[in-house]
Amino acid sequence: MQFFAIENDGLIFRENGETLKIEAWGKNSFRVRAVFLGEIVDYSPALLEPDRSAHDVKVTIHESDKDRDIWDVTDPGRRASISNGRITADCYVQPWGNTLQITFLDNKTGKVLLKEIPHGNALALKARVYKRIGGDVYKIRSRFVSDPDEKLFGMGQYQTETMNLKGCNLELAHRNSQASIPFVLSDKGYGFLWHNPAIGEVHFGLDTTEWVAEESRQLDYWITLGDTPAEIVYNYTEVTGRAPMMPEFGLGYWQCKLRYYNQQQVLDVAREYHNRGIHIDVIVIDYYHWPRCGDWRFDEEYFPDPKAMIDELKEMGIECMVSVWPQVDVRSENFLEMKQQGLLVKSRSGVDVQMVFHGDNLFLDATNPRTRKYVWEKIKKNYGDLGINTFWLDEAEPEFTGYDYENYHYHDGSVMEIGNIYPREYAKLFYEGQRENGQDKVVNLIRCAWVGSQKYGTLVWSGDIMSNWEDFRKQIVAGIQMGIAGIPWWTTDIGGFHGGDVRTDEFKELLIRWFQFGAFCPVMRMHGSRVPHTDIINKAGEVREVTGADNEIWSFGEENYEIMKRFISIRESLRDYTRSLMKEASETGAPVMRGLFYQFPEDERTWEVRDEFMFGGNLLIAPVCHKGQVQRNVYLPKGCSWTNAFTGETFEGGQEIVADAPIEILPVYYRNDAQLKFSF
């Protein structure tokens, strides 16, 4: 039997209705696609076309492999292999059921990187399982043998304090504060992308790793080899895209709250910062500055002259960011036209209402090119032409009430099949419009992302998290994992979003510790829905969205003001360094916020640390993230000595020290071998 064929430097396997293709896709990397009862399609939800001239491909179909199984003596041709540089896919057709097992190896060392599960003889197991949903749509499972000692990182943003994902079960779907980006990095020297935007699951079990797509037309994944995490991330971002260069206004401090609800508030806050000599790069106008969701313009009652407001902000050197939601209220001035033109997400059954919040709302269909064109024209007219250059793309998952994914359908397919691309296409709407409008550098804040979002100037923030110490600790993990998943621009609401009571000392302590952490995030941004709230009622007597308590740095007492003012100054002093990190991210895909293992992979201890991180390659940050804590243990990696940026004390690497951390101090250390001195 002829199981294998060579086509265009790729290896093809066919057996009993399944067609599988392995081909080189980037340096030391493969793309694997498979279909049942059909032909491989070229649809690529995220992977870019690779530079094929850089490939080093060798494909071999072996006539026999007597060392594998005695059955091979009478039935040759059960083994083939394809190599691309250092990575090899060894393919073996197991005699029981003619099931194919693929093993990926480092052909320099002979080490197994990853391999599919075997058939299990009488168990008749399959590494790839297709269960027909209807037509050519299947529920697809892909199973691999698990190394129980392996450590796994990445996968985007899940609200957990768990750094090593081994043993975790993860939903492959977006939610408010959850961004599912299915790329995982292994300490065994490989990276793996589940190249499928379907709603699904992944199980990183101790016995097997199993990826599941609930509705899909073909299996599709990508694997790469690298000696270091940096090399793996470089290979991954080479084929999925990298962030552009961050604009200068992304390097400093951003001021925000829920919510500056009128023009006078915005100007009063900006003027006060300016008069105090504290530079802010961006001030943010949050949601419901519009009459109805889907109007995409300022409400004249509260913003009578937005052009004058924006011009004055620019005179003070401040960019104005405005919130944009993808919801369209059924009462919006644009609703009927968008519905008639088919520019909205469709419900498969029941009433077309996808979120209830200050009215009945449907979502714009960001996968539809006509929708993107229509909405950008509104954005340009009502915001861009006023001088607004940066947008806050909230609700980007999108936040379906109840997350009943099976009930919704996009232009490009069912949400179950392609739903996870939505936040990327939403970001694309703005990025392409801004670029066409002549804007050379773009950054837009967004609440979700998928593979490739980074190339559209997306700054992801971690969503509507709670103002408590547990959620604070979760953000350290989230920022590191997002960087591994290819998203170098990431931030949080400093102080958390929900439940921060400005009248309590406990919240003020949390806020200060979060603020210190925020000074070393890729972007430093103050935000939150502070308690107590104030009701807003318009002239027509309609209840509008509330505004929270004051959230400026002078709002929390003189002692706390001085601490926060100092850390804004520290952030400013790092501007040249931060700019260099953004340049590195743009050129190599390197995260700005990095796990210690990323920078020091040869130090085994670094793979275990979850509450410290590197800000670039030279600064180690140890956030104080427990109530009442005034000192903490800090691990300093091997390979260099370290200096405390606040005290000047020097320590040898490869040890754990106890660092003093009174409320005004954050443990920060710089590498002495980097010839960069940071004194705070």
Name the region of 97 (left: φ>0; alpha: ψ -120 to 50; beta: rest): left
Domain parsing of the chain, residue ranges: 4-240, 248-324+372-400+412-581, 595-674
**CA 671 vs CA 335, 576, 583, 641: distances in Å:** 56, 17, 20, 6
Three-class SS string for 125-166? CCCEEEEEEECCEEEEEEEEECCCCCCEEEEEECCCCCCCCC
pLDDT above 90: residue 350: no
Helix ranges restricted to H, 221-334: 229-240, 263-275, 306-315
Using CB atoms within 10 Å of the CB of residue 605, give its burial: 0 to 12 exposed, 13 to 18 middle, 19+ buried.
middle
From CA 608, how far away is CA 337, in angstroms rounded?
A: 54
Q: What is the pLDDT of residues 374-396, one digit of tens each?
A: 999 999 999 999 999 999 999 99
Q: Which helix (H) or strand (E) holds 512?
A: helix 505-518
User: Band of the pLDDT at 351, cuts 50, 70, 90?
Assistant: confident
Q: Do domains 4-240 and 248-324+372-400+412-581 have the same CATH topology?
A: no
Give me the helix-helix angle, 505-518 and 558-573, nearest 10°. 10
Catalytic residues: 394, 397, 464
Instruction: Give the model's pLDDT for residue 75.
Output: 60
Let me know how long the chain is.
680
Q: What CATH number does the domain located at 248-324+372-400+412-581 have? A: 3.20.20.80
List CB contacts of 444: < 8 A, sequence separation 6 or more: 390, 391, 392, 393, 427, 430, 431, 456, 457, 458, 459
CATH class of the region 595-674: mainly beta
- Quick one: pLDDT at residue 545? 94
pLDDT in tens, 562-618: 999 999 999 999 999 999 999 999 999 999 999 999 999 999 999 999 999 999 999
pLDDT of residue 175: 98
In CATH, the number for domain 4-240 is 2.60.40.1760
171-195 burial: b if 16+ Cβ within 10 Å, else e: ebbbbbbbbbbbbbbbbbbbbbbbb
pLDDT at 64: 59
**185 DSSP β-pair partners:** 153, 191
Beta bridge partners of 621: 613, 668
Pairing of strands 4-7, 190-194: unpaired
Mean pLDDT (the chain, rounded)? 96
Q: Would the pTM of this model clear 0.95, i.e. be above it?
A: yes
pLDDT value of residue 70: 42
Using an 8 Å Cβ cutoff, are 487 and 458 in contact? yes
